Structure 1
């Protein structure tokens, strides 16, 4: 890209087809369109921090911005607010130190999620699901796999709001400074400004409200992704801060006395206390006579908020509608549709249904193929139960998708190696005692994936029979 002129900000922005609002959104909460406009006109020189951030937005080096390192002569104008002033000056070293400490803890969290999940599971005696890092409430794991078609879903759109929302004093203690006199208001705001992954958007999702395998059925309300992440990532951050030393090594097993926010949450299975985000995690098994094998997914820590760097079953995704349109919401309130969409996105590289487009056409492409195969019995899908990731207390709906070899191979012809969330592991793992156990013992599998493997192997005769 060739650009000219002393201040190249506007030209770089327009070359990238970005608006001033787009640039402001990518730079964080403290920056507005007005700031970007003043920088482009040369009224104000962005601070070194914002020069580095702008270079990252435009994909150039700092010198290529064409921005002078010294500010212009003062003008006789009055700034509109203290926030305008703070966005244009170098941050105070105390603020920088606070943010760097927070980033360091978050890096340690992402590097040690498996170990921290094991520590967290130990905080709930008698609730741990083997050594998976999951915990389960009474009756949350059925006595045997349940055909997904038999699981009734009930929606309570007018459910009462949860007691906790991430704004509590105990959660605020975990947040870095945004300025000299103000901390960040929410965990997700800090993530957006200081450690933003590629996929980070506040979308509508269904909130887990009840689990009852006597019917069998699951109950849901409404929530947003950020509304849940403000709680579940704060819980994980707190345990990382307390349970890891400065080098990211476990320091022992803390007690709930050391974890005031987790202690405030109380009973993790009281689904009225906090917004519990349910994810649907699916172990995909290829069945060929007496032989079975499965796939895994390596999640990219630069792209995702949770479980970055870990292995996960594939597909796996939040239970949410594909679009905000009423027709989509009605069609997508279905665990099978969620599994289909995630499979199409993660294994086939189809564009993500990000909530803003048209409803998904479930009669076309791989959706129609999977529906027909499920109808004739060459595809079977089971629910193994519901559990919580002990570290984050996120809900996990654990499922297994068993495809006969011919159906699997028709889909596999179009499998991608990489997707927006990470890399599809090229190796197919043998669904044998050795293959399952080697993964479970590796310490690399996310709790939901470990739970799927543990329960699927326990009930292999039912799933493959």
Structure 2
């Protein structure tokens, strides 16, 4: 700084995170602008304490690490900051929120080890060492072509028993004021640790799964993303709080009696107890001649996503939800294959995300038509490997595998992006060999759903290839 002491560490932290002022403004949230961030960095204005908490969440540091003087600089408060009622809050509230944020950061840094601890709570249901658990009959005897899976909607399905507002879940929430705690986990995330992608959207809720005679049936009701997060993230937060020490090391292997909210949930396979919002995770395999078989992985950006940040995941992966709330779109989207296609186009080809607010997707053009034709010609196959739960969060996972002949894959790969909204597409293609698969599974770097796809796909490689 040419011998001039910086008024705070905001510019330093932003540059270390490789962010522009506009990107910081977007992650802090409206009504902040890039100009406002610039004024904060130059010390011309001081952000209110609420904004300091959001800045700390963006940079993954504590509020004190921002280097902002404890007393705000004299200034005329901007109209943007008048959006908040109060600049300051009681230190006891700050302490509660900092402790909550610290536990959440440790949770996100240790999801692999915590998923293994969680799976130990359900030993008879563990799926190898993947961090997944599966109910009886949830894994078919061999992969099932998606064309042989029947989906049905249950529009009048009863609401789940748990909502995330229970007393046991409230213990995992920080203070919002001196006299009131946050009433929902999603509201705490929104205010104290917001990822770049965090929007409530209508989603399908898994109600039942059955495999018989080489075919499958799944039934679904409705839920929303936040309804599910309000249950599954407190469950994970509770385990992190009990099992980890202050440095993120495993301090204990808790029993169910040590985890009141998880104990309240009861059987994780009882879909009537909580909203089970499934994701569809797809292992994409390039099938060449002979042993020339490889697959793709995706590194999830911890600044962008609410879960599994920093881990490797199969690609494409996404929550099973409609792309549009219009009836025609919802009807077309109630299909596992269509969901996989949309995520493929968004995560690998950089197409705009279908966020539920626009018109229905045209599946007759672009990469959708290419994938459909390749599937019809037998140059592409897509199978379901089974259904499981992430043991840490108890989130549902529909595990699938997409096997694409090399010419089709290479033609599509010419347009693959290096980065997407959720992270980085790993440039290296991993060999689909025992050494390649086992090396990744043993590394602890693959998210549970991805590990489950790899474990089962390798088990059934002869059928799939």
In the TM superposition, residue 157 of structure 1 has moved relative to its aligned partner by 1.3
Q: Is 1:222 matched with 2:226? A: no
Give the 3 Å change call, closer, same or farther, for CA 55–223 of structure 1 in structure 2: closer
Q: Are 1:27 and 1:53, in contact at CA under 8 Å, matched by a contact in 2?
A: no
Structure 1 stretch 207-216 or stretch 414-423: which is displaced more?
207-216
Equivalent positions of 1:93-172 (< 5 A) are 93-172=91-170
Give the 3 Å change call, closer, same or farther, for CA 166–309 of structure 1 in structure 2: same
Q: Name the Cα RMSD after superposition.
A: 2.7
Q: Could you list the runs of 4 or more consecutive aligned residues of structure 1 that deviate by over 2 angstroms after TM superposition? A: 22-28, 45-48, 50-57, 68-73, 84-87
Q: Distance in 2 between matches of 1:23 and 1:270?
A: 37
Give the 3 Å change call, closer, same or farther, for CA 319–54 of structure 1 in structure 2: closer
Q: Are 2:54 and 2:194, in contact at CA under 8 Å, matched by a contact in 1?
A: no
Q: Distance in 2 between matches of 1:230 and 1:242?
A: 19
Equivalent positions of 1:396-407 (< 5 A) are 396-407=397-408
Equivalent positions of 1:16-95 (< 5 A) are 26=30, 48-50=48-50, 52=52, 69-70=73-74, 87-95=85-93
Give the 3 Å change call, closer, same or farther, for CA 260–27 of structure 1 in structure 2: farther
Question: Which consecutive unaligned segments of at least 5 residues does structure 1 have?
Answer: 1-14, 17-21, 29-35, 37-44, 74-83
Q: Is 1:437 matched with 2:438? A: yes
Residue of structure 1 in register with 2:211 after alignment: 213
Residue of structure 1 in register with 2:250 after alignment: 250
Equivalent positions of 1:196-345 (< 5 A) are 196-214=194-212, 216-290=216-290, 291-345=292-346
Equivalent positions of 1:349-428 (< 5 A) are 349-428=350-429
Q: Are 1:152 and 1:216, in contact at CA under 8 Å, matched by a contact in 2?
A: yes
Q: Distance in 1 between matches of 2:28 and 2:110?
A: 33
Q: Distance in 2 between matches of 1:51 and 1:431?
A: 47
Give the 3 Å change call, closer, same or farther, for CA 139–315 of structure 1 in structure 2: same
In the TM superposition, residue 234 of structure 1 has moved relative to its aligned partner by 0.6
Q: Are 1:46 and 1:88, in contact at CA under 8 Å, matched by a contact in 2?
A: no
Residue of structure 2 in register with 1:11 after alignment: none
Paired residues, number: 416
Please state whether the residue corresponding to 1:385 is helix, strand or coil.
Answer: strand
Q: Are 1:49 and 1:90, in contact at CA under 8 Å, matched by a contact in 2?
A: yes
Post-superposition Cα deviations, 1:333-375, rounded to whole Å, max 9, x if no partner, equal 0000000000000001111001101111101110000000000
TM-score by length of 2: 0.85
Give the 3 Å change call, closer, same or farther, for CA 85–356 of structure 1 in structure 2: closer
Q: Distance in 2 between matches of 1:417 and 1:345?
A: 12
Q: Distance in 2 between matches of 1:24 and 1:351?
A: 22
Question: Which consecutive unaligned segments of at least 5 residues does structure 2 have?
Answer: 1-20, 37-44, 60-65
Q: 2:172 aligns with which of 165, 168, 174?
A: 174
